[in-house]
Amino acid sequence: MGPRVSIWFSVFVFALIASSIYAEEAESEAESKEHVVTLDHSNFDDVVGKHDFVVVEFYAPWCGHCKKLAPEYEKAASILSSHDPPIVLAKIDASDEANRQIGTLHEIQGFPTLKIFRNGGKSVQEYKGPREADGIVDYLKKQSGPASAEIKSTEDANNLITGKNIVIVGVFPKFAGEEFENYTALAEKLRSDYEFGHTSDLKLLPSGDFSAAGPLIRLFKPFDELVVDVKDFNLDTLEKFVEETTVPTVTVFDKDPNNHPFVVKFFNSPNAKAMLFMNFTNEAADALNTKYREVAEQNKGKGISFLVGDLEASQGAFQYFGLKEEQVPLIIIQTNDGQKYLKPNVEPDHVASWIKDYKDGNVSPYKKSEPIPETNDEPVKVVVADTLQDIVFKSGKNVLLEFYAPWCGHCKQLAPILDEVAVSYESDPAVVIAKLDATANDIPSDAAFEVQGYPTVYFRSASGKLTQYDGDRTKEAIIEFIEKNRDKTAAAEEPIKETASEEPRKDEL
């Protein structure tokens, strides 16, 4: 059916913090030699294969964030071209059909995505650094050097351990042996996520138990307990230790860029996600935050991660979840199956009891839905979450349903074609052509719709057979598909005309 715009959840996460990362429009790129190497399907393997270290940006020409990154990326490439040895920055148009297979191979789910290729492409890691030129340069200089930096002085230690980031330090009587080798392997594997150092003198480090005997690994972090030690050098145990100790009891989402990596880690967690959104400057914020943190401590390791978000920084989340500012302070929980549970206007004394009710299964799911339209007499009918059942599943009709996003260019191109299809069926009450804004309405997880890009089009026959449409986006092709898949015995009823006066069915909260 043609290209779709990727809408993976990870893209949403970065959209939440994009306003902080890209605060200003990037300046026009100066006319000069291009230092970013342009790749495509014909030279990708050759360029990556002959370098020990190369960074590749997977982009799309129409992507706004890619356009903002371009001059910063080029400036960084210019600076790094004189590094010893030179650090190569490259780019590939992953939206080009000829390059699509390379994007698929490297699991590109959104633009821009940057990846670091090491050892001729034998090792591939996500780029997780800044997106402005100076930050890119500093990050890549560290990434191109040893995975762990030797700490020889207190100055070295203070430069590495700033109190604002997570740093993992190995302490060894000598830099050899199985423990040191396992530590080095850990540093190589996780170097894009954390900073690593190693030393033979524990007293050079800024805090912790100086009487502890090595070898050991000491993890420094800017939250909860600030220093944690481990002495088990089994590689799997070390990875689990890092994974568990680098998640804050309560992740803070605000405009501080130092918190953004922890926000990303929060949303990538397999746990259910509890989010408290409130005005941080409100006089009741401290009491509510204290109760919320107490509950988070009580639920450590029990399958729920906790986040507190400042209202000012959380507008993207409000749009995504369909929340309203008059509901603040609120708690919303999202589970991995897409269900959401909402507690609006929460007070400190409500937190513990409501979380317990959720865990006991005594809270009904919350559903995001646009209002039912006052009139629905256009050829293409408008479906919202509260009318999905009635219009699509219970109407006894053959329904072609488009899932779209208002900002999607391909959706805008399809819209007039669907209008023409709908006009063709205006005299046939057994066929409905409809559309649903998937950014403003929840799609039930049990409805069998797999919407991973826009536009996505499904056809549900009157007898209940569900088929995804992936043909040409022409009036003729869509009508041919409908005629092939429709049930001729569908109920002939009057055209759908919902009004806002009809009471929508809503789950109790």
Q: What is the mean pLDDT of residues 133-159?
A: 94
Per-residue pLDDT at 250: 96
Q: What percentage of residues in the chain have a pLDDT greater than 70? A: 89
For residue 7, pLDDT beyond 50: no
Q: How far apart are CA 58 and CA 90, in angstroms?
A: 9
Per-residue pLDDT at 317: 85
Q: What is the mean pLDDT of residues 365-376?
A: 92
Active site residues: 63, 66, 408, 411
CB atoms within 10 A of CB 236: 9
Tens of pLDDT along 203-244? Answer: 999 988 888 887 999 999 999 999 999 999 999 999 999 988
Residue 500: pLDDT band by 50, 70, 90 thresholds?
Answer: very low
Contact 296, 249 (CB under 8 A): yes
Tens of pLDDT along 414-453? Answer: 999 999 999 999 999 999 999 999 988 988 877 789 888 8
Residue 134: pLDDT band by 50, 70, 90 thresholds?
Answer: very high
Q: How far apart are CA 22 and CA 73, in angstroms?
A: 13
Structure-token match 């490259």, residue found = 90
Higher pLDDT pick, 439 / 500: 439
Residue 400: pLDDT band by 50, 70, 90 thresholds?
Answer: very high
Tell me what the pLDDT averaged over the chain comes to: 88
Contact 16, 263 (CB under 8 A): yes
Q: What is the mean pLDDT of residues 37-59?
A: 96
Mean pLDDT is lowest, of 210-214, 233-237, 263-267, 502-506, for 502-506
For residue 501, pLDDT beyond 80: no
For residue 279, pLDDT beyond 60: yes
For residue 503, pLDDT beyond 90: no
Contact 457, 401 (CB under 8 A): yes
For residue 493, pLDDT beyond 50: no
Task: For residue 391, give the DSSP letter.
Answer: I
Residue type at position 203: K
Higher pLDDT pick, 363 / 193: 363
Per-residue pLDDT at 192: 85
For residue 26, pLDDT beyond 50: no
Per-residue pLDDT at 6: 40
Long-range contacts of 138-146 (CB under 8 A, 24+ apart): 140/55, 140/76, 140/80, 140/87, 141/80, 141/83, 141/87, 142/195, 143/53, 143/116, 143/191, 143/192, 144/53, 144/83, 144/87
Q: How far apart are CA 53 and CA 47, in angstroms?
A: 10
Contact 68, 103 (CB under 8 A): no
Most confident residue range from 108-112, 123-127, 455-459: 455-459
For residue 165, pLDDT beyond 90: no
CB burial class (10 A; 0-12, 13-18, 19+) of residue 479? middle
Number of residues assigned to the chain: 509
Q: How far apart are CA 377 and CA 359, in angstroms?
A: 43
Q: How far apart are CA 257 and CA 346, in angstroms?
A: 28
Q: What percentage of residues in the chain have a pLDDT greater than 90? A: 72
Instruction: Report phi then psi at 332, rounded to 5.
Output: -125, 135
Q: How far apart are CA 303 and CA 269, in angstroms?
A: 10
Residue 496: pLDDT band by 50, 70, 90 thresholds?
Answer: very low
Q: Which residues contact 381 (CB under 8 A, 6 or more apart)?
A: 391, 422, 432, 433, 434, 435, 496
Supply 7's token pair.
């809408």
Contact 495, 377 (CB under 8 A): yes
Q: Which of 354, 367, 369, 166 is nearest to 274 (CA)?
A: 354
Residue 16: pLDDT band by 50, 70, 90 thresholds?
Answer: low
Contact 308, 278 (CB under 8 A): yes
Instruction: Report phi then psi at 53, rounded to 5.
Output: -150, 115
Q: How far apart are CA 83 and CA 371, in angstroms?
A: 57
Instruction: Report phi then psi at 504, rounded to 5.
Output: -70, 150
Tens of pLDDT along 288-346? Answer: 999 999 999 999 889 999 999 999 888 888 878 888 889 999 999 999 887 899 999 99
Beta bridge partners of 424: none
Contact 247, 269 (CB under 8 A): yes
Q: Which of 25, 130, 15, 111 is nearest to 71 (CA)?
A: 25
Residue 277: pLDDT band by 50, 70, 90 thresholds?
Answer: very high
Q: Starting from the edge strand earliest in sequence, which strands make up the sheet with 113-118, in order?
A: 37-39, 88-93, 53-59, 113-118, 123-126
Per-residue pLDDT at 13: 53
Per-residue pLDDT at 505: 34
Q: Starting from the edge strand earliest in sequence, which strands make up the sheet with 227-230, in order?
A: 148-150, 195-199, 167-171, 216-220, 227-230
